[in-house]
Amino acid sequence: MDIKKVKEIELHKELADEYHLRYKPDFAKTFQTNWNEQLLKHLDKAKNYRVLDYGTGTGILLKDLKKRYNTVCGFDISHDMLKKIPKDLLIKTGEIVVSDGEALPYKLNSFNAVVCKGVLHHLSDIPLALKEIKRVLNKGGVLILSEPCNDFFPIRLARKILYKKSAKFEESDEGFFVKNIEEMLFKEGFIIEKKSKFGFLSYIFAGFPDILPLLKYIPFNVILTRCLILMDKFLMRFPLTQNLGFQLIITAKSRIC
């Protein structure tokens, strides 16, 4: 196992409890639910869809996937993160395993869709991970991904400083430039159908209460979070302010060769 993977496993072993607490406040749940909705709105709602939660972590996306689909599988390289998934959710869900995202334990054409929320930037070999995703997708299957976006210089600089100074991040992790992730996806056999930016004010104040706990101490923080989400949606409508988005959301289909 390469050094980066070892570092990621050790980091998430230390952070497993904090990740769980990151999603505990009601205002944080409101933000995460909205983030999940922005991903899932691009998927077919057919209950018989087979969906892979790529990098399950503590199950924050898993719960919303299971509400929509009968068959949901998930994996994570960190056993410590998976141990934080609520037991009742595990009972309701399909196979959840410890695995490497660059060597998936699934057969060819196993899934109709793969949803990857903030995982690719943690990996050592992203092209290999995309090859694996394409392998387990049905022909014409859908990949939905949300990853840190570095197109806007102030955000890129802030992210670099945070990753370097905070023990809650791995310094070698990098965000993506839109052009670069598009090129990687095309090279590995995907056709991009939609792309959008996500998260600015709500992302800063409600996405990471373990790092910036300001909203914890403000009354009516759930209502305030909803207002911030609406403000972000408004900002992301205009080309001039779209670069403010901290995340890039892409919908891509496995190219039928």
Residue 50 sits in a domain whose CATH number is 3.40.50.150
Q: What range defines the domain where residue 39 resides?
A: 3-254
Query: Tens digit of pLDDT for each residue in 172-196?
Result: 888 999 999 999 999 999 999 999 9
Q: Specify the 3-state DSSP secondary structure of 33.
A: helix
Question: For residue 155, which amino acid is it?
Answer: I
Q: Which tokens in the block code for residue 36?
A: 């999940």
Prediction pTM value: 0.94
Q: How many domains does the chain have?
A: 1
Contact predicate 54/116, CB 8 Å: yes
Q: Which tokens in the block code for residue 218?
A: 């403000």
pLDDT of res. 256: 76
Segments of the chain scoring below 50 in pLDDT = none
How far is residue 60's CA from residue 94's CA, in Å, rounded to a whole number? 15
pLDDT of res. 78: 95
Contact predicate 53/72, CB 8 Å: yes
**Average pLDDT score, the chain:** 92
Q: Burial-class residue 146 by CB neighbours within 10 Å (0-12, 13-18, 19+).
A: buried
